Amino acid sequence: MSTPEQVAATRPTGGDEAIGSPRPTRGLRSDALRRLRRNPMAVVGFTLILIFVGVAVFAPWIAPYSPKDNSWLSEVRPGAYPGPSAEHWLGIDPLGRDVFSRLVYGARQSLLIGVVSLAVGATVGVGIGLLAGAFGGWVDTVVMRLVDIMLSVPGLLFAIAIAAMLGQSLTSVMIAIAVVNIPIFARLLRGEMLGQRAADYVLAARSLGISRAGIVFRHVLPNSFTPVIVQGTLTLALAIVEAAGLAFLGLSGSDPSAPEWGRMLTDAQVALTSAPQLALYPGLAIVLAALGFTLLGESLREALDPKLRR
Amino acid sequence: MRVYGRFGRIIALSATAGLLAAAAGCSGSDSTEDGDRKTFVFGASDDPKTLDPAYVSDGESFRVIFQVYETLVALKPGTTEVVPSLATDWTVSDDGLTYTFNLAKGVTFHDGEAFNATAVCYNFDRWYNFKGAQQNGDISYYWQTIFGGFATRDSDSAPESSRYASCEATEDSVATLRLTQPSSALLSGLVLPAFSIASPKAIEEGGTDITVTGDSIAYSGGFGTKVVAGTGPFKFVSWDRGERLILDANENYREGRPQLDQVIFRPIADATARMQALQAGEIDAYEGVAAADIEAVKNVGQVVERPAFNVGYVGMNQKVPLLQNRKIREAIAYALNREGLLKAAYPEGAEVANQFLPPSQWGYNSAITGYSYDPERARQLVAESGETNLTVEFWYPANVSRPYMPNPQAVYESFAADLEKVGFTVVPKTVPWTPDYLQSIQADGKGQLFLLGWSGDYADPDNFVGTFFRETTAQFNLTDPGIQGLLNRALAETDQATRQKQYEEVNQLIFDYIPGVPFVHNRPLLALGKNVVGYQPSPVSLEYFKIVNIEG
Amino acid sequence: MLRFVFRRLLQLIPILLGLSILLFAWVRALPGGPAQALLGERATPEAVEQIEAQLGLDRPLWEQYVQFLGRAVRLDFGASLQTGQPVIEEMARRFPATIELAIAALLIAVTVGIPLGYLAARRYGTWLDSVLVSASLLGVTVPIFFLAYLLKLVFAVQLGWLPTAGRSDPRARAEHPTGFYVLDGIVTGDPAASWDALTHLILPAVALASIPLAVIVRMTRASVLTVLHEDHVRTAEAKGLLAGTIVRHHVLRNAMLPVTTVIGLQMGVLLAGAVLTETVFAFSGVGKFMADGIVQRDFPTIQGFILVIAVSYVLVNMIVDIVYGLLDPRVRVS
Amino acid sequence: MSFLRVRDLTVTFTRPGQAPVRAVDGVTFDVGSGQSVGIVGESGSGKSVTSLAVMRLLPARNVQVTGSIELGDQDLLALSARQMRDVRGRDVAMIFQDPMTSLNPVLTVGRQLVEVIVRHDGRSVAEARRDAQALLERVGIPDPARRLREYPHQLSGGMRQRVMIAIAVACRPRLLIADEPTTALDVTIQAQILDLLRDLVEESGSALVMITHDLGVVAGLCERVHVMYSGRIVESAPATGLFARPAHPYTDGLLRSIPRIDDEERGMLHTIRGSVRDVVAWEHGCAFQPRCDHAVESCLGGPPPVHDLTGAPGHRVRCPRPVHPATPATGTGRSEGSA
């Protein structure tokens, strides 16, 4: 550890009174956007996401072959899998299929898992958080206790338990990941709403006689969504990685031929010594896609967090 | 509470291990390697279930038991030839009902007890008197296969009658075994590790309690898990589940002390991980070399193959209407690219199968050729079949490696792609191998298309085709008077030449009927370290470590 | 302080009860219900009937729950379908391995993560900061098992520096009175055995540490940044204290408070991540047993594992809370 | 000779991608030994930055400090960071505005007091503890032995500020800088704290720089007052002179915005238009001009020079058109004051 010249050297402009007074929300949003554009992390993240989503959406046009087409089986010998060529950009897998096409279609699966599990988890979680935050009182107590209990099981384990219970299918993977996300979103939204409820503008609205529901839906909820979006972005990344972990444990879609990154990565371990590239491609794909969402999410968080603003 | 008891037992076990080590004259530091000690580390795919020989039928348990215990008769290494072992010689009465075994003299069990006819008969009586859960087909499989039933019948699934009549210690070193009916398979059967002779004292002291709850078998007795004593070349030292099982050379082994000082079984489930452990020098041998790893293994050691005495096949359940259509079955036979799969994913020695019998088995019909890969023909047959709904379930076992099918999922994926190419819609179905898969396919007949295979127990064609088709089994659900009649006639036939003809004929009938598509006769591979010598692969996977040595 | 600990212990009760209800619901929701979960798919109808009667599945739900709770409290999860041994014995046998691994991983994550996080905060906005932040983001996106395979391939297979599998050299013979192999070497006066166990721990621990490490780096960085901006650090500067004193007593000590909580939460990642890591390294802990259990649909094992891990997780977090109370006087009083 | 001499102190915040901001712009002032000096200004006037610059507590990065700060015979800006650490707390100490946040919440009061004594006086911890107890007693904290073992959150705001003061005076510094020491406190406590400060300063003979926006605080405490506006001193005067005859329109505005009980003629408080945010750089004329009722066009012709008010020794003002000039004020017309 360095012995710094002066510990307070990284303080911002010395507690000067000139900086740091409350800003209106609208300003904060556009301000955040501006900061986001300047942040290279955000730009890289956004680019990765664009590529990922683009590949997923346009997979049939990008991939030269069907992901299950094993027409090139005769070119394969044990431990010797043809490498990149003009016809097969990333070579052929041990079962005579085009690796590039499988990778491209794999983006679809990953995106599907990520988006569906996020959508379900976030919707239910936000709903629960809303319930607790809006009603308060015993509803809040009961709901939050439940959330605490759900959070007392480590996330991956929770997902494993649910996927194992539901059996081997893509749906059960998505449900498993979604369920893990529910308490996270519930707690997040409820915390936000509690904070917002005490905010000046809410007190003002209440003093103007606007109903509780009105306040919640017109004021509190929209203002609570920023952290939900941040969390959502990060959750997408986690979903992709978690799906890979579940696939490793044999908890993934029922069709082993389906091009799914986690499964491709797991299956490639068999030939890790003779053909490490087969593991590397899906591995990198998972890392890059997840990294894209993580980078964007973290930049968003930093851009939107007034405390971290420098 | 249980946890404390367990702690106490660990200490007791350690103490026992220490005593044994001291008794064996193994002095010096406990964990440091003694350069002079010759250690052979075998990378197993799993822990043994238990070392009580009578309770198991799986390869990993057998491998260890085979080194610790001995049977009355044994196999000549690398063959299926029956040779003397604990019985130096034997006579069989003319009616085939009385076996008189002359036993080796001066042999002691690892616990110091004397080996004699009383000990032999103690073991036979123990097996015959199995009760309750012990009569479960999973637990006493080989007793039931060779001897049939028990003294009392406690389980509906147990055989009704027993071939076993009695065992008598007519002299101290003469054991007389009496049967109720003759059995030509008896001597071949007695070589199986399941009929290992264990020390009666160890059995008594350890206890052989067992409880079966559904699928789960609890070996709660101490014999086989904590107390182990046979007469074999190696004796049990300690067992740290999931980590290692240690055997030491038996200084008093009747054939002389083995060359190895100790044998260690290290469980590593994943074949790639075993290969890496071999590369890193952590283990000296392992079973189940993946075809893709052959070159890598050869760089650091040797690859040896067991003779191909197996068959892998895609079964077709005749219960399924779609598969009752012969055109569809033929289409499937033409659609599967067996040769392509074998070339891409099997070791070089693997042969494309066209019948359910391995070529080395008499009765094999070498005149049969056909159903070569022809997707065009398959499509045409599908069109001719008149079937419109071409959706079919295709079952394969998960997370298992079989001698004829090192990677079932790869086989499934390859064949499923072949089938989809000619117009089928394949629905994947998979469950774990034991017990779910075997249960689903063999007992419940849930399979439609399914992957399965067979490794021969003994050298008779009936062990293959008879097992599959002589009776109407749940897995194939085949009822065909022609095939079944011929198989029954062949089994009863005593003239070898006629039998051979009959089996060749039946193979042609089966080939024409297509109750399934055999696709491989594989040669299972073993990896050995560079300095391992004397390892003799066995067609029935029973290999003696007593003849193995580490050089240099 | 004692009252604080006591109060915290009391708070455990509803969480644990809730957990048991969750698990009860899980077992009920298993395909085939609780009887099949105990017996496996091949259970005969008679066995199912017998177990169902034994479990009292015909009784009211709350009665069944009470019975379930009784079994859970006695840690009776039935026998493992894999080995036939009682699940709790299998878990007890393997738990030391997992604890040892988790502690090793946690040590790596903490001893590397906190200095790196501090460094990033002090170099806020520099390239070093960016590199550390990016690396930590990467750390949470690489699947653990993939990292584990890569580590094994490079450091064990290619370079041959470390062993590929297991907890100890198979050829070595060591006594294991406690089951914690590193500790065993010390207890039995066999340092070579401890060293051997350590070398086997390194790769799996590093793989397992990746996520907690990344999280701790980021948390430390954020926390240090926050503390650096706090007034009391300026006070400390104004007092003319030495830089080292300020870093230790006024920055790190305060910044560690939120990090402690995060470390507790990371125990969950460690315990669950062990399922993946132990499998790759054939490390015979509860994680590997669980992974095998998942493949084999060994529901008694899965059930036992979930409960034991969740309870450990809750307990660890309670301990962390108490430690937090020790570190932060404000919590103790309120 | 003055004990603290600040000459032409300029602090510029340079942030990448943004125009540099001059928070303090050519500030010059002296503090004599044992003298009490007030620096008065609104938020953003640069008074706090000035004090932090003297303490050298401004961040190293993105901040540029020029000019000279001499304390006794030391040039503070020339000292190494390590040397400066010896100066801080020993020769010059500082009291901050918010006692709630200025103490470390996780260390006991005693620890925070002891560490500064040990650091500068080279005493053992046991000795320092005795000193610390005596100090707490001196700053008026009852039951000091118990308080030493307590944490800041167990103390009231006023008590905490007393602790801060105890820490500041622990090593008998010759200069004490108090940055708004009473702002965050209840009104009743404010007076007590100010009394305590005055007593301590008188007793020890330390010099005091009181930074505040509250002219009332200065009135009872300081001999000399500097009024800052937008980074510059706009008026310097003996306290009595300033209150009697505020010359700068800004000072005048500040004074007139203080409610006075004896002032019955004005029913309404005076306010200064706008806020300090409407900063105009001094290069383009008087920064106060946009808010000034007296401004004329010439106020925009570059920074107005400083000149002494005639007839008022030591009373200097940076305004061409002072409110209460020494010479009879014209109030209108274009009479341009010149230095």
Helix axes A40-57, A99-135, angle to 10 degrees: 110
Whether C93 and C28 share a structural domain: no
Residue A230: closest CA among A132, A143, A129, A301: A301
Residue B71 sits at φ, ψ, to 5 deg, of -110, 170
| Single-letter amino acid code for the residue at C232 | H
Burial class (CB in 10 A: 0-12, 13-18, 19+), C263: buried
Nearest C-alpha neighbor of B66 from the set B544, B549, B548, B547: B544
Which amino acid belongs to residue A82? P
Residue C67 falls inside a structural domain: yes
Helices (H) and strands (E) in chain A, counts: 12, 0
Task: Round to whole Å and give the CA distance between B507 and A239.
Answer: 53
| Partners of residue A276 in chain C, C-beta under 8 Å | 153
Residue of chain D whose alpha carbon sits nearest to that of A14 = D58
Report how far residue B302's alpha carbon sits from residue B296's, in angstroms, rounded to the nearest whole number. 10
Distance (Å, rounded) from C-alpha C325 to C-alpha A28?
Answer: 36
Is residue D259 predicted with pLDDT exceeding 70? no
User: pLDDT per residue over C173-232, tens digit each?
Assistant: 777 888 888 888 888 888 888 888 999 999 999 999 999 999 999 889 988 988 888 888
Amino acid residing at D325: P
In DSSP terms, B549 is beta-bridged to B533
Q: Residue B483 has which token pair?
A: 């095939």
pLDDT of residue B21: 37
A32: in domain: no
Nearest chain A residue to D58 by CA distance is A14
Would A216 be classed as within a structural domain? Answer: yes
Question: Would you say residue C235 lies in a domain?
Answer: yes
Spacing of C-alpha A240 from chain mean position:
7
For chain B, list residues whose CB is within 8 angstroms of any CB belonging to chain A: 270-272, 275-276, 290-296, 337, 340-341, 343-347, 398-399, 407, 409-410, 412-414, 416-418, 420, 428-430
Note the pLDDT of residue D280.
54
3 state SS of B545:
coil
Look at strands B516-521 and B351-352 and give their pairing.
antiparallel
Same domain, C59 and C139: no
Q: Supply the pLDDT for residue D332.
A: 39
Nearest CA in chain A to B373: A74
For tokens 């949003």, the residue is A29
Higher pLDDT, residue C328 or B517: B517
CA distance C74 to C68: 10
Using a CB-CB cut-off of 8 Å, the residues of chain A touching D58 are: 14
> A201 CB near a chain C CB, below 8 Å?
no
Checking if the pLDDT of D165 tops 60, the result is: yes
Q: Quote the CATH superfamily of domain D2-222.
A: P-loop containing nucleotide triphosphate hydrolases (3.40.50.300)
Q: Do B242 and C284 touch (CB under 8 A)?
A: yes
- Read off the pLDDT of residues D265-286 as tens digits, 9 standing for 90 and up: 555 666 777 665 545 567 777 7
Q: Which residue has the tokens 């075997």?
A: B438
In the DSSP assignment, the letter for residue A80 is B
Instruction: List CB contacts (< 8 A) between C36 and chain A.
Output: none
Provide the pLDDT for residue C115.
93
Tell whether C199 is within 8 A of chain B (Cβ).
no
Phi, psi dihedral angles at B100 (to 5 degrees): -110, 115
What's the rounded mean pLDDT across residues C112-133? 90
Tally: H helices and E strands in chain B = 17, 23
Neighbors of chain D by Cβ distance (3+ pairs < 8 Å): A, C
Structure tokens at A202: 């809410």
Query: Alpha-carbon distance C231 to D164, whole Å?
Result: 12
Asked whether residue C137 falls in the same domain as residue C7, the answer is no
pLDDT at C96 exceeding the cut of 50: yes
A264-281 pLDDT tens trace = 998 888 777 788 889 999
CB of A251 less than 8 A from some CB of C: yes
Instruction: Tell whether C32 and C117 lie within a shared domain.
Output: no
Please indicate, yes or no, if residue A95 is contained in any of the structural domains: yes
Residue B95: Cβ-neighbour burial (10 angstroms; 0-12, 13-18, 19+): exposed
Residues facing B427 on adjacent strands: B393
Whether residue D96 and residue C236 make contact (CB cut-off 8 A), yes or no, is no
In chain A, the largest separation of any two C-alpha atoms, in whole Å, equals 78
CATH number at residue C118: 1.10.3720.10
Parallel, antiparallel or unpaired: strands B262-267 and B449-455: unpaired
CATH number, domain at A210? Answer: 1.10.3720.10
Is C251 found in the same domain as C124?
yes
Q: Which residues of C touch B276 (CB under 8 A)?
A: 152-153, 156-157, 164-165
Neighbour count for residue B549 (Cβ, 10 Å): 16
C195, part of any domain: no
Gap between the Cα atoms of A85 and C301, Å rounded: 47
Q: Tell me how far CA of residue D96 lies from CA of B468, D161, D163, D200, in angstroms.
A: 92, 9, 11, 17
Closest alpha carbon within chain A to B295: A79
Cβ distance D210 to D38 under 8 Å?
yes
Higher pLDDT among residues A217 and C110, named by residue: C110
- The residue segments making up the domain with residue A44 are 39-65+85-308
- What pLDDT score does D325 carry? 54
CA distance A105 to A91: 15
Size of interface A-D (CB pairs under 8 A): 40
pLDDT in tens, D283-335: 777 778 777 777 777 777 777 778 887 777 788 888 877 776 544 444 433 33
C301 located within any domain: yes
Whole-angstrom Cα Rg for chain B: 25
| Option in C232, C240, C257 nearest D89 (CB) | C240
Query: Token digits for A210?
Result: 């606007």
| DSSP notation for B355-366 | SSS-TTSTT--T
Who wins on pLDDT, A304 or A257?
Answer: A257
CB D284 within 8 A of CB D318: no
Q: Which of A140-153 are b and which e, b meaning 16 or more Cβ less than 10 Å from the residue's Cβ?
A: beebbebbbbbbbb
A279: which chain C residues are within 8 Å (Cβ-Cβ)? 146, 149
Which range of residues forms the domain containing residue C112? 88-143+203-333
The reported pLDDT for the residue numbered A8 is 41
Q: Which residues on C lie below 8 Å from A164 (Cβ)?
A: 294, 297, 299, 302
Which residues does chain A have within 8 Å of residue D94's beta carbon, measured at their own beta carbons?
none
Q: What share of residues in chain A are helix, strand, coil (percent, to 5)?
A: 70, 0, 25
**Chain B residues lying within 8 Å of A255, measured CB to CB:** 428
Does C114 lie in the same domain as C61? no
Query: C295 CA to chain B: closest CA distance, Å?
Result: 7
| C99 and C61 part of one domain | no
Note whether residue C126 is domain-resident: yes
Q: Is A249 on the interface with B (CB under 8 A)?
A: no
- Identity of residue D37: V
ipTM for the predicted complex comes to 0.80
Cα angle value B263/B264/B270 (rounded, 5°) = 135
B82 strand-pairing partners:
B75
pLDDT of residue A28: 54
**How many degrees, rounded to 5, is the angle at CA D276 between CA D275 and CA D279?**
115
D59 touches chain A (CB under 8 A): yes
Q: Using a CB–CB cutoff of 8 Å, tell me whether C60 touches chain D.
A: no
For D58-90, the pLDDT digits (tens) are 887 788 889 999 888 888 888 888 888 888 888
* CB–CB contact B292 A257 (8 Å): no
Residue B245 — φ and ψ, nearest 5°? -125, 125
Q: What 8-state DSSP symbol labels residue A75? A: G
Q: Which of B243, B262, B430, B446 to mutate to test the interface with C (most CBs of C within 10 A)?
A: B243
Q: Do the chains contact at B216 and C163, CB–CB below 8 Å? A: no
d(CA C127, CA C210): 22
Domain count for chain C, please give it.
2
Residue A176 lies in a domain: yes
Cα distance between the two ends of chain C: 11
- Residue B470 CA to residue B485 CA, distance in Å, equals 8
Give the number of domains in chain A. Answer: 1
Q: Does C137 touch chain D (CB under 8 A)?
A: no
Is the minimum CB–CB distance between D23 and chain A shorter than 8 Å?
yes
B167 bridge partner residues: B177
Task: Provide mean pLDDT across the span C74-91.
Answer: 82
Q: Evaluate whether residue A47 is within a structural domain.
A: yes
Residue A221: pLDDT band with limits 50, 70, 90: confident
Flag whether residue C229 sits within 8 Å of chain B, measured between CB atoms.
no
The reply to whether C232 and C267 lie within a common domain is yes
State whether C282 and B267 contact (CB < 8 Å): yes
SS3 A278: helix
> Is the pLDDT score of D263 beyond 60?
no
**Residue A27 within a domain:** no
Give the DSSP per-residue string, B481-532: HHHHHHHHHHHH---HHHHHHHHHHHHHHHHHH-SEEEEEE---EEEEETTE
Domain's final residue, options C43, C72, C101: C72
Chain B contact set for A277 (CB, 8 A): none
Could you give the dihedral angle defined by the CA atoms of residues C175, C180, C183 and C186, in that order, rounded to the nearest 10 degrees?
A: 0
- Spell out the per-residue pLDDT of chain B, length 552, in tens: 333 333 333 333 333 333 333 333 333 333 334 456 899 999 998 889 899 999 988 888 999 999 999 999 998 888 878 899 999 999 999 888 999 999 999 999 999 999 999 999 999 999 999 988 888 877 888 898 788 889 999 877 788 889 899 999 999 999 999 999 877 668 878 988 999 999 999 999 999 888 776 666 778 888 998 899 999 999 999 998 888 899 999 999 999 999 999 999 999 888 888 998 998 889 999 998 988 888 889 999 999 998 888 999 999 999 999 999 999 999 999 999 999 999 999 988 899 999 999 998 889 999 998 789 999 999 999 999 999 999 999 999 987 888 899 889 999 999 999 999 999 999 999 888 776 788 788 878 888 999 999 887 777 788 889 889 988 888 899 999 999 999 988 877 777 788 899 999 999 999 999 999 999 999 989 999 999 999 999 888 889 999 999 987
D54: tokens are 């003297």
**D to B contact (≥3 Cβ pairs closer than 8 Å):** no
Is C234 at the interface with chain D, CB within 8 A?
yes
The Cα B313–Cα B424 span in angstroms is 19
Tokens 């996520």, residue located = C211
The domain boundary residue, chosen from C72, C97, C127: C72
Cβ pair D106:C231 closer than 8 A: no
Would you give the distance in Å from CA A196 to the centre of its chain? Answer: 25
C-alpha dist (Å) from residue B364 to B214, B308, B403: 40, 13, 20
**pLDDT for position A286:** 94
**Calpha distance C101→C278 (Å, rounded):** 9
Helix/strand number for chain D, H first, E second: 11, 12
Please list the alpha-helical segments (H only) found in C30-86.
33-39, 45-55, 61-73
- Chain C residues in contact with A266 by the CB 8 A cut-off are 145
Distance from CA of C168 to the nearest CA of A (A): 23
Task: Specify the pLDDT at position D324.
Answer: 65
CB < 8 Å to A9, chain D = 59-61
Residues carrying CATH 3.40.50.300, chain D:
2-222
Residues with Cβ within 8 Å of residue A136, at least 6 apart in sequence: none
Nearest CB neighbour to A294, from listed C137, C234, C243: C137
Q: Are B72 and B194 in contact (CB under 8 A)?
A: no
Nearest-10 Cα torsion for C221, C224, C225, C229: 180
- In this structure, what token pair is assigned to residue D338? 């010149």
Nearest chain A residue to D64 by CA distance is A13
Question: What DSSP string describes A161-212?
Answer: HHHHHH-SSHHHHHHHHHHHHHHHHHHHHHHHHHHHHTSHHHHHHHHTT--H
- CB-CB neighbors (< 8 A) of C41 in chain A: none
Name the one residue in this structure whose structure tokens are 């019975």.
C67
| pLDDT computed for residue B357 by the predictor | 92
Query: Is a pLDDT exceeding 50 seen at residue D338?
Result: no
Tokens 């996270």 correspond to: A184
Query: Which CA distances in Å does A123 have to A133, A163, C148, D158?
Result: 15, 20, 34, 49
- Does residue C292 fall inside a structural domain? yes
Which neighbouring-strand residues pair with B431? B397
Query: Cβ of B488: how many Cβ atoms within 10 Å?
Result: 14
Tell me the backbone φ, ψ of residue B537, rounded to 5 degrees. -60, 140
